[in-house]
Amino acid sequence: MAWDFETDSDFQRELDWIAQLVREEVEPLEHVLGSPWDIHAPGFKKLVRPLQRIVKERALWACHLGPELGGQGYGQVKLALMNEILGRSTFAPIVFGAQAPDSGNSEILAHYGTPEQKRSFLDPLLANDVVSCFAMTEPQGGADPQVFTTRAVRDGDGWIITGQKWFASNARYAGFFIVMAITDPEVSVYKGATMFIVPAGTSGLNIVRNASCADEEATHAYVEFDHVRVSANHVLGPVGGAFAVAQVRLGGGRVHHAMRVIGQAQKALDALCERALSRSTQGSRLADKQMVQERIGDSWIELEQFRLLVMRTAWRIDKYQDYRKVRKDIGAVKAAMPKVLHDIAARALHLHGSIGVSNEMPFAGLINRSFQMGLADGPTEVHKITVAKELLREYEPCEDLFPAYHRPTARAAALAKFGETL
Ligand SMILES: Cc1cc2nc3c(=O)[nH]c(=O)nc-3n(C[C@H](O)[C@H](O)[C@H](O)COP(=O)(O)OP(=O)(O)OC[C@H]3O[C@@H](n4cnc5c(N)ncnc54)[C@H](O)[C@@H]3O)c2cc1C
């Protein structure tokens, strides 16, 4: 019997250490540095590299990975507790070697990479000597891979990739791209697509432009593959196996986003509470007004519900070690995440009044982030569909005219069972 909501004291000590480092050293970085993925910027070298060394010395580097890859193999529950602290700062994930999309890309390279691919791409990625890009979405659609057209055709001992990718995050900083391309158009995309590793700088790989979300830096690239040639040893995983490969990164990645969203929503809730206590209007503090209290209460309840769902999902991933068994849970977490962040950030924005809506506060950015969370790794609708489909698998249709829960039918069954006794 183990329904335990406590953290081991040893691990709590590590969490306290992480929280202090993030609060004091990492959270200020976003106010003086550019993109966390711009790892060759002078400011990054001066301010982030020393912090990464401290994290490595503390053995908290790349904790999403197993010990064979230099991580701690903590599992998802410990990772969730860590990630909700890291979510408070855009720089914290890279300080701890756990930033998307590199964390997911390192998982698939570890899982499917050949020894040579691991040497050339995984090792430098794990050391954060390079960052990487995952290019799957295309301009004509992302939610439905059946509209993808980027093609790879065999050319002697290699492949030639032609097509366009859209919203490929951090392409401008990436040392290499993991790209999904159709290798067999005769079959369903789910069986006819393959993953390729394309090093940055390969001839024909061009960034058309970079888009930004709200006032963030423009890091989401529109990428053109104009007859990009890669050798056969740049195929990642089996030919035709792109979706099996993608699943390895998307399953974990979606939960890791959710863990970090807890930290972002908590930050908005902290601001909401502090402001409510600090500001007075019409003769009393905002905190004393019932409509404000309702918003604070709702925010806490929604965040705690979400956190429990995330923690239980993390626990189930650890328990089953099989993402297929937790598809419903991951879908639910992914679908719930944008709304929780949106609603709490919106309440914080509104309670701060004019300054809340301005660019002097983080709330408009957080609201935009909530919409990003509802799209990245698939839109909310698609994940709700997954939840519903998985749930419906647990039910059978009723063959009778009236179902067993129909009251007269239920009463007749109860009388048949208890009639004699009564
Ligand atoms: C911040 C951010 C980072 C991203 N990074 C990357 C990246 O690094 N690499 C990458 O490949 N992609 C990335 N993406 C793209 C992301 O995966 C896509 O945005 C997502 O898959 C949706 O595709 P789309 O934008 O083309 O929207 P569309 O596929 O056009 O969908 C638009 C809308 O249609 C509706 N919809 C779609 N399907 C259904 C359905 N079945 N039922 C009902 N309604 C539906 C939804 O409201 C959806 O939002 C990123 C996106 C964001 C926002």
Q: What are 372-401's pLDDT values in tens digits?
A: 999 999 999 999 999 999 999 999 999 999
353: number of CA atoms within 13 Å, CB side? 6
- Shortest-distance Cα residue to atom 33 of ligand 1: 379
Q: Check whether 73 has a pLDDT greater than 90.
A: no
Per the model's pLDDT, the better-predicted residue between 321 and 206 turns out to be 206
Residues with CB under 6 A from ligand 1: 101, 134-137, 141-144, 167-169, 213, 220, 372, 375-379, 381-382, 385
From 134, 169, 250, give the residue whose CB has the most ligand 1 atoms within 8 Å, as the site to mutate: 169
**Whole-angstrom distance, CA of residue 335 vs CA of residue 338:** 7
What confidence tier does 41 reach under pLDDT thresholds 50, 70, 90? Answer: very high
Kindly give the distance from the C-alpha atom of residue 257 to the centroid of ligand 1, in angstroms, as a whole number.
Answer: 15
Kindly give the distance from the C-alpha atom of residue 368 to the centroid of ligand 1, in angstroms, as a whole number.
Answer: 14
> Which residues are registered as beta bridge partners of 138?
141
- Shortest-distance Cα residue to atom 42 of ligand 1: 381
Q: Check whether 249 has a pLDDT greater than 80.
A: no
Q: Check whether 244 has a pLDDT greater than 80.
A: yes
From 375, 377, 380, 386, give the residue whose CB has the most ligand 1 atoms within 8 Å, as the site to mutate: 375
Of 111, 241, 265, 90, residue with least CA distance to 170: 90
| Average pLDDT, integer, range 41-63 | 97
Q: Check whether 70 has a pLDDT greater than 80.
A: no
**Whole-angstrom distance, CA of residue 130 vs CA of residue 57:** 20
Per the model's pLDDT, the better-predicted residue between 96 and 67 turns out to be 96
Q: Check whether 250 has a pLDDT greater than 80.
A: no
Kindly give the distance from the C-alpha atom of residue 25 to the centroid of ligand 1, in angstroms, as a whole number.
Answer: 34
What confidence tier does 336 reach under pLDDT thresholds 50, 70, 90? Answer: very high
- Shortest-distance Cα residue to atom 13 of ligand 1: 167
Kindly give the distance from the C-alpha atom of residue 373 to the centroid of ligand 1, in angstroms, as a whole number.
Answer: 10
Nearest ligand 1 atom to the CA of 169 is: 8
pLDDT digits 0-9 by tens, 283-310? 999 999 999 999 999 999 999 999 999 9
Q: Check whether 233 has a pLDDT greater than 80.
A: yes
**Whole-angstrom distance, CA of residue 178 vs CA of residue 129:** 17
pTM for this entry? 0.95
**Whole-angstrom distance, CA of residue 53 vs CA of residue 61:** 9
- CA 110, 168, 143, 100 dihedral sign is positive
- Shortest-distance Cα residue to atom 24 of ligand 1: 142
**Whole-angstrom distance, CA of residue 226 vs CA of residue 180:** 15
Alpha helix locations (H) across 60-150?
A: 76-86, 92-95, 102-112, 115-117, 123-126
- Shortest-distance Cα residue to atom 45 of ligand 1: 381
From 137, 198, 212, 264, give the residue whose CB has the most ligand 1 atoms within 8 Å, as the site to mutate: 137
